[in-house]
Structure formats: C-alpha cells, structure tokens
Copies of this chain bind each other. A is one copy, B any other.
Amino acid sequence: MTPLDSGEFGLIRRIQEMLDAMPPSVVLGPGDDTAVFRPEPGRDLLLTTDAMAEGVHFDRSFMPLSSVGWKSLAANLSDIAAMGGRPLYAVVSLGIPAGWTSADAEALVAGMKRCGDAYGCTIVGGDISAVGSEAFIAVALTGDVARGRAVKRGGAAAGDLICVTGTLGGSRTGLEVLRSGVNREEYGASIGTFLEPVPRTGEAASLIAMNNVSAMIDISDGLSSEIHHICGSSGTGCRIRSRDVPVSPEAARWARERGAAALEYALGSGEEYELLFTVRGQQAVTPPPETRVAVIGEILPADQGIRILVDDEERPLVASGWDHFRQ
C-alpha cells in the first residue's frame, strides 16, 4: 500500500500506533496540534534541529531506510551530547516522495524509534508532507542540562588539553566501501559507523561529571573543521599532534589500500559523531573506563594559529571537513 492509497491521515495514524506510550513527563504525545511536556525544575532546556536529504545525506541504493531513520535522530542526539545534555523529546517533519510505499515510511520511523529507545529520547509528534522526488527528514530535538551547565564551543582557554572520544575515519571509510561495492565484511565497523552512528550521550554525561570540560562540540563535519569552530568561538589557537589522533583501524587499512593518507580520513571524515572537547588545566583526563578518550593536542593563544604537528613538522591545520555546498 502506498501513502497515496491510505491518505496522509492513514499513514499518520499508523505511525502514531508505532510510537509507544509516553513517559509521565509527556502530558500529551502525538495526535494533537502540539505535544505538551512538563520540564523538570531547575534545568535549562536545549533545542536543536538537523535534517537529512535524499541524494545528499543518503542514497537508498546502499542505505536502508531504517538506518536513515536511526541516523537522522542520532545526528540530533549528538548535538545534545555536545552540550553535555540529556536528550528528551523529538518532533519529526517527513517529506515523502510519491514513489514511496507506506512500508518505506514506516521503516524510516521504526529506525528512528529504535535509536530513540536506545538513547532515552521519545518521539512526541511530527508532520508529513508530500514532496516531488527527494525525501527529507528534519528532526528537532529537545534536551536539558543542569541550570547554567551547558558546555559551549567557546569555553576553551590556552593551556587546555584537546581530547576526542573513540576513533576517527570510520564514517568516510564506511561510505566509500558501500559506494565501491567491494567485499564489505572486513569493514563492518566502518559501515556501521556510517549507517548507524552512535551518539555519545552517555559518554557526555560521564565527561561532564569530571567537572573540568571547558568546551565541547560533536564531530559532524570532520575533526579539522570542528577544531576551527572551538578555536574560533574561544578566541584561541591550538596545536594538534597527528600521531595522537586516533585513526580507526579499518580507516587506516582502507586508506593504505587506496594509497591515501590515513590521517586525512581522521581529519576530514564527517558524521563521526564523536565528541571533541577541551579539558581545563593540565589535570589528568580520567574518563570512565568504558569511554575511550585520546588527548590529541593543546589549546594555545590565538596568535599561535591553528596548527598540526606531523612528523616533527608543524603546519597550519586546514578545515577539510564536509561542506555540502562544496562537494
């Protein structure tokens, strides 16, 4: 059955049925003019939005719609994590082309719900539009954080250590492997990172508990681009040490096979959704054991510029990340 067969309201009704009973803090879930929720006293609220467009952010020939749904919510969860926040409630605007079936739309929502369930976020409402040919999925997500404790991009100062969670380069590797059609088994982790990235909401909570995180951003456009955002907002420079940048093993292997530099994958791979953050002072970085954190450099005064140390040679670090309008 296509969306056209059942009409907009039929599809909306079936999607509403897919969404679970709401938590007690949700006064009113899907099905009215707006959702209604009761904020917890003493906390600031976070609000963000991020969209995925067919042909730009995803290609149905190698990306299941369930993964598109997952990733569209994960990108927003990552933004909440980057503020040190706790995710709360999402609303979703879907633009559905005439060629889609109801099952397509439901697979997308199922993936979104799977991601929400995994990270404690509830889909409380949405809107469906017909579109001409290219689908879009726009998610808006709220979260909260202890009053005054949101971690901004602009809080870094000279002397802070620069850290990153996880390993980098996997998302671009996964995309390139999927596009190339080569044997995929040995790049399973990278494909997973590209299709269904893990938002670092739990890690963010652990990092915030250290009480010395001075600035944070998630890696959606690539490490080199994000470090420019932190330094630009903070009015600082920095030095990254390339040898300490945690390249994913699969990205290193993929780069080697192609005769490319693994470092470029780690610096330029977007949609990683790892956290890039700075830690005040030269205190030891002691993340919880389950969180892999690498110290990759330090914040410097602005006049030192934004630089990277490669093989004992220091050079400017160019923002090489993902810019949709330049691809």
Contacts and interface: CB of A to CB of B under 8 A. Distances in A.
Interface of A: 3-4, 7-9, 11, 27-28, 31-39, 41, 44-57, 79-80, 82-83, 85, 89, 91-93, 95, 124-134, 136, 138, 140, 142-143, 145, 147-148, 150, 152-154, 216-218, 233, 323-327
A214 to B, nearest CB: 14
A325 B3 contact: yes
B45 A37 contact: yes
A212 to B, nearest CB: 19
Contact of A56 (B52, B126, B129, B142): B129
B38 A324 contact: no
A138 B140 CA distance: 9
Query: What copy number does this chain have within its complex?
Result: 2
A327 B129 CA distance: 12
Contact of A150 (B11, B27, B93, B143): B27
21 contacts: A27-B150, A32-B233, A33-B79, A34-B85, A35-B47, A36-B46, A38-B44, A39-B44, A41-B41, A47-B91, A48-B91, A49-B138, A51-B127, A51-B138, A53-B130, A53-B131, A55-B132, A57-B129, A91-B140, A127-B138, A132-B134
